[in-house]
C-alpha cells in the first residue's frame, strides 16, 4: 500500500513539474501588452534605514527605492560578525483601496562560547500586517522600539517606508529613477 502511494505521488509530482515547465516556456517571452499591464500594477517602495546607539550617534544609514508588484517582497539585509538581520516587506493591495504591508524580520545572533556552553546560533522572527494608504509614512522597528534611546549599550534600527504606485509615464518618457543606496556615515 505504501509503495503504491509513493509511486502515485512520484508520478503526480512529475506531471506537476512538466506542467510548470511548459507554462514557464509559454510565459517566458512577455508581450509588450503584458509588460504594460505589469507596470500598471507595479509599486515603488521607498525605504530609509538607520542603525544607531542614540539619536545623535547614527552608525549607518541607507536609502533605497525598489520596484515591486503586489505579493513580491522587497528585502533588506544587515550583517556583521555577530548578527544578521533580514527584513522582508511584501505589499498587497486591499480591495477598496490602499495596501496591506506584511513586514517580516529574521534575526540570527551568534553567542560566543563560554566555559560551560559551546558557541551557539539563535534565531528570532516576527511578522506584522500593517494596513496603510498610498504615500503614508510607516515606521518599522525590526528589533522593537526602545523606550530609552540614550543607552549606548543598545542598538536601535529604524526603517521608514513609503509605498506608492509606480509612475509608468516616466518609463514611457525615458526618464528612469535610479536606486539610491548606502548613504553611509
pLDDT tens per residue across span 166-182: 875 555 555 444 444 44
Range 51-74 burial, b when 16+ CB lie within 10 A, else e: bbbeeeeeeeebebebebeeeeeb
Mean pLDDT of the chain, nearest integer: 77
183 has pLDDT over 90: no
**Res. 101 pLDDT band, cuts 50 70 90:** very high
> Per-residue pLDDT tens for 46-97?
999 988 876 677 888 889 999 999 999 999 998 888 889 999 999 999 877 8
Q: Which residues contact 61 (CB under 8 A, 6 or more apart)?
A: 48, 49, 50, 51, 183, 184, 185
**Res. 111 pLDDT band, cuts 50 70 90:** confident
Mean local confidence (pLDDT), 2-16: 47
- The residue among 137 and 18 whose pLDDT is bigger is 137
* Phi and psi angles of residue 105, each rounded to the nearest 5 degrees, phi first: -115, 140
**Res. 153 pLDDT band, cuts 50 70 90:** low
Contact by Cβ (8 Å): 70, 42: no
Domains and CATH numbers, the chain: 44-172 (2.40.160)
Amino acid at each position: 500500500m505504501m509503495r503504491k502511494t509513493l509511486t502515485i505521488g512520484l508520478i503526480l509530482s512529475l506531471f506537476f513539474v512538466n506542467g510548470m515547465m511548459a507554462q514557464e516556456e509559454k510565459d517566458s517571452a512577455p508581450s509588450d501588452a503584458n509588460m504594460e499591464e505589469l507596470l500598471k500594477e507595479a509599486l515603488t517602495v521607498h525605504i530609509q534605514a538607520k542603525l544607531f546607539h542614540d539619536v545623535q550617534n547614527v552608525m549607518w544609514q541607507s536609502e533605497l527605492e525598489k520596484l515591486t508588484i503586489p505579493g513580491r517582497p522587497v528585502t533588506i539585509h544587515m550583517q556583521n560578525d555577530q548578527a544578521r538581520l533580514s527584513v522582508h516587506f511584501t505589499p498587497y493591495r486591499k480591495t477598496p483601496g490602499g495596501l496591506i504591508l506584511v513586514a517580516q524580520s529574521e534575526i540570527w545572533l551568534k553567542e560566543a562560547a563560554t566555559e560551560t556552553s559551546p558557541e551557539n546560533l539563535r534565531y528570532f522572527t516576527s511578522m506584522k500586517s500593517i494596513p496603510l494608504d498610498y504615500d503614508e509614512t510607516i515606521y518599522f522597528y525590526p528589533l522593537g522600539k526602545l523606550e530609552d534611546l540614550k543607552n549606548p549599550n543598545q542598538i536601535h534600527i529604524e526603517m521608514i517606508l513609503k509605498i506608492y504606485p509606480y509612475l509608468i509615464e516616466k518609463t514611457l518618457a525615458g526618464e528612469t529613477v535610479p536606486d539610491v543606496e548606502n548613504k553611509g556615515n
